[in-house]
Structure formats: structure tokens, C-alpha cells
Structure 1
Amino acid sequence: MIRNILGSLVALAGAASAVLSPFRDWYDGRVGRDYRVRDLFEGITATESGVLVSILLPFLFAALLVVAGVLVRSRIVVAFAGVVVLGFTILWMVRQGQAEGALVVGGDGSGLQVGVVNAVAGGVLMLIGAVLMSGRGAGGRAGSRARARREREPVEPYGVPPADQVDMWPPTQEPGLSTHTSPWPEPEVEPYTGPDPHDPRTRSYPQAPQEGDPRDPMHPPRRPPEP
């Protein structure tokens, strides 16, 4: 936590120094905002530049990266912002050396001036801040993975009882406990009284007389022989 705070302060100080540098003299009394971004790729000219198309533009972009990296505690984003500032500053120095034939530092205000120092210092401070920051850490990554895992797990609908409280079937008989888990009393079953005589489906019909039946005229019962 302390490392993140210290690194963030150093990186923000570097961003402020980088944004301030185009408003100060860079070379031979010429301020940095007078150099166009296209001059860094096509060659330095005497044409003055607007603020939004000057070298201030990449420095503002780098400062926004630093702020975003501090908020999300990303060392890579902060370090990338420092590389952007140093890269554009070194590219300007190369183009200025080509235009002048050589880069000089004069005590009378000629040559390289304080604006270049601010830009270089800003980029270096951003890199130092990225090194000092500890990042999100293993705890932050573990917390993110845990939250993602919880989001992927299925959510049970509201009102579903826990698994250990769900009635199981067939019920198990425990000593002193009833197998009936329903809170409602069971209906009483009437005793069986046989088929209903009024029900045509269960009505009995007379059977045909069989052999030996006195009611059968075709097959009278056999009489025992007389002695």
C-alpha cells in the first residue's frame, strides 16, 4: 500500500513536469509549444505551431495515461507513459541537432534550456514511479478471480431450501420419528365392504346349470342302482 502511494505521487509529479515543459523555453529562447508534432518527423522548421498540434499533445496523452495507471494501479501503463515522454523528447533532440548542426548548452540562454530538462525529468519520474508501485498484487488478482468464479456459478432461485432440508424418497425410518413428512393428516380409508350390488359393472348374473344340477332337465342327476 505504501509503495503504491509513493509510486503514484512520483508518477504524478513526472506527469506535471512533462505537461509544464512545453510552456518553457526549449532551445535558444523558443518555447516547446512552438514546435509542431509533424516537425519531429519531417524536420524542424521556423513555422510556429498551435497549442493543440504542438509537442504538448503527446505529453498530455502521457499525463492521462499516468492518471489512468494510478487509478487502476497498473505499472505497465505508467511505464508506457514515461516511454512516450522520453521518446518524443529524444526525437526532438535528434531533429533539432539536424537542423542546427549540433546541440549546445550555453549559460547565456542559448542552446538547450530548462524546458528540455523538465521533459526528461518528467519521463524519468514516470519510470521511477512505475518501479516503485507494487501493482494490484496477488491479493487483488485472487480477489478478481474469486469474484469472476462467483459470477459464473449458477444462482439458485429464491426460496429453494438447502439440500440437507429437502425431503428424500423413499423416506428413512428413524427411531421415534414418523416417515410421513407432510404436515397435513392422511385421509381415513373406509373398510372394504365388497362390490356394490347396484353397480352394473359388478352385478352377478345366474350361471348356466351344470351336469348333475337338479335344475337341468337335460342332464338329470344319476340315481344309484337298485339292489
Structure 2
Amino acid sequence: MFRTFVGSLLALIGAAGAVWSPFRAWYGGRHGSGIRVDDLFTGVGVTPDKAALLGSLFLPMGFAALLTLLGVLLRSRLALLLAGLLVLGVTVLWMVRQGQAAGSLTAGGDGLGYGVATAFGSGLLILLGAYLTHGRRRTRAYGEPVPYEEPVPYDDGRRYGEDPRSDDGRRYGSGYGGTGERGSGEQPPMPPYDPDGPDDPGTTRTLPTIGGSTVEGGSLDGTSGPPKT
């Protein structure tokens, strides 16, 4: 936290120096606010033509200061890095163009002034502030914990509406083919159907009567035939 504070402070000092540098002498007593920014991108070098404030070196320096302020507020190291490189890039490019126009660069009263040194130092301070500043930490968003649910006990499907006959009548009695006894797990085997035999060994079948006569071949055992009287 303290390191970030120091880095932000250095970056702001560098931004203030970058904005102030055009109002100082850059070369031969000429202020940077009178040097045209267009001369940096032409092949003829720096011309003696006077520039307006927003068309001079104040324009890139002011933009770098705004970028620095944005980087400090957002704690963006990238923004601070771009601002520092912009200040240094403009300063170095101006020196190249000035050297082309004058033939050589000299220091002193008729040479490089304090404005160049201020701009160069301001760019270094902004880069140092970008190095010391920590960026924002990204936090992962976790969802709410899912409440634990106990599993539903297995009940042979009877809970979910399956056919009650699937339990062989153990639950619902002998009406579905079971033995009718709770807890019984087996069914007695069904005897084969014999249309001519008795319904059950050891029992006597009683034939129905029609009009006082006994019917021997009715539909009681599932067969059909003419009644015998």
C-alpha cells in the first residue's frame, strides 16, 4: 500500500513537470509552447514559425498528464507506462528534429534549455511511478454454497407412481396376484389349466342348474357347448 502511494505521488509529480516543461526554454531561449508539434513529424526539422498553445509541444505533454492522472485514479500501470513513454518519446523526437535543423545540439544559453531537462526527468518519474504502483487485484466471484440435500432412499419405485403390482402384491395384498401376506417374498406356482379336470384337487365342482336340470358343459370351466338336460 505504501509503495503504491509513493508510485502515485511520483507519477503525479512527473505529470506536473511535463505540463510545466513547455513553458520553459527548450533551445536557444525558445519555449516549448512556441514550437509547433507538426515539426516533429516533418522531414525539415524544427522551423522558426511560432505555434499556438494547443498546436505546440504543450498538446502531447498535456495529454500525457491527463493519462497519468487517469492511471493514478484507476491504479493502472499500463496507463502510467504509456504516459511516461509519450513524454520521453516527444522529448527525444524533438531533439532529433532540432539537431537536423541546427546541424548539431549544444548545451548552454544558446543551446538546450531547462525545458528539455524538465520534460526528460518528468518522463522518468512517471515510468518510476508505474513501476512502483500495484495494479488492482482481480477477485474471483464465487456463487452461494449449494445446501446439502440428503438422498432420497430407494423404495423400489413405489414413491414415483410405478405400478403397485411391481412388488408382487406384497404391499397391496393378493388382489394383484400376490399371496396377500405382508412381508411374503414368494408366490405359489399357478397350476396348468385343464378344461376337463377339476378346478382344484380334492374339491368337488358344483355344476349350475337351469330350469331344474344340471348343466354339464357350461361356461363355468371356460368351455362352451350345448347344455345336456
| TM bucket normalised to smaller | 0.5 to 0.7
State the SS of the aligned residue for 1:164: coil
Q: Which residue of 1 aligns with 2:163?
A: none
Query: Does the 8 A contact of 1:211 with 1:219 survive in 2?
Result: no
Q: Report the residue type matching 1:70 in the other structure.
A: V
State the SS of the aligned residue for 1:111: coil
How far, CA to CA, are the matches of 1:135 and 1:162 in structure 2? Answer: 36
Cα deviations across residues 96-123 of structure 1 (Å, max 9, x unaligned)?
11111111122xx321111111101100
State the SS of the aligned residue for 2:9: helix
Asked if residue 98 in structure 1 is aligned to residue 100 in structure 2, the reply is yes
Cα deviations across residues 116-153 of structure 1 (Å, max 9, x unaligned)?
111011001111112222333xxx23x1xx12xx4xx5
Asked if residue 6 in structure 1 is aligned to residue 6 in structure 2, the reply is yes
How far, CA to CA, are the matches of 1:85 and 1:219 in structure 2? Answer: 126
Aligned pair count reads 165
Instruction: Report deviation, 1:39.
Output: 0.3
Q: Please provide the CA RMSD for this pair.
A: 2.9
Q: Which residue of 2 aligns with 1:36?
A: 36
Query: Does the 8 A contact of 1:212 with 1:219 survive in 2?
Result: no
Q: Report the residue type matching 1:55 in the other structure.
A: L
Instruction: Report deviation, 1:11.
Output: 0.7
Q: Which residue of 2 aligns with 1:197?
A: none
| Structure number with bigger Rg | 2
TM-score, normalising length from structure 1?
A: 0.63
Q: How does 1:182-197 map to 2 (within 5 A)?
A: none
Q: Which residue of 2 aligns with 1:68?
A: 70
Q: Report the residue type matching 1:116 in the other structure.
A: V
Q: Report the residue type matching 1:74 in the other structure.
A: S
- Higher relative contact order, structure no. (Cα contacts within 8 Å, ≥ 6 residues apart): 1
Question: Which residues of structure 1 form unaligned runs of 5+?
Answer: 172-209, 221-227
Asked if residue 88 in structure 1 is aligned to residue 105 in structure 2, the reply is no
Go from structure 1 to structure 2 and tell me whether the alpha carbon gap of 1:211 and 1:128 turns closer, same or farther (over 3 Å shift): closer
TM-score, normalising length from structure 2?
A: 0.63
Q: Report the residue type matching 2:104 in the other structure.
A: A
Asked if residue 164 in structure 1 is aligned to residue 149 in structure 2, the reply is yes
Q: Which residue of 1 aligns with 2:17?
A: 17
How far, CA to CA, are the matches of 2:147 and 2:84 in structure 1? Answer: 55
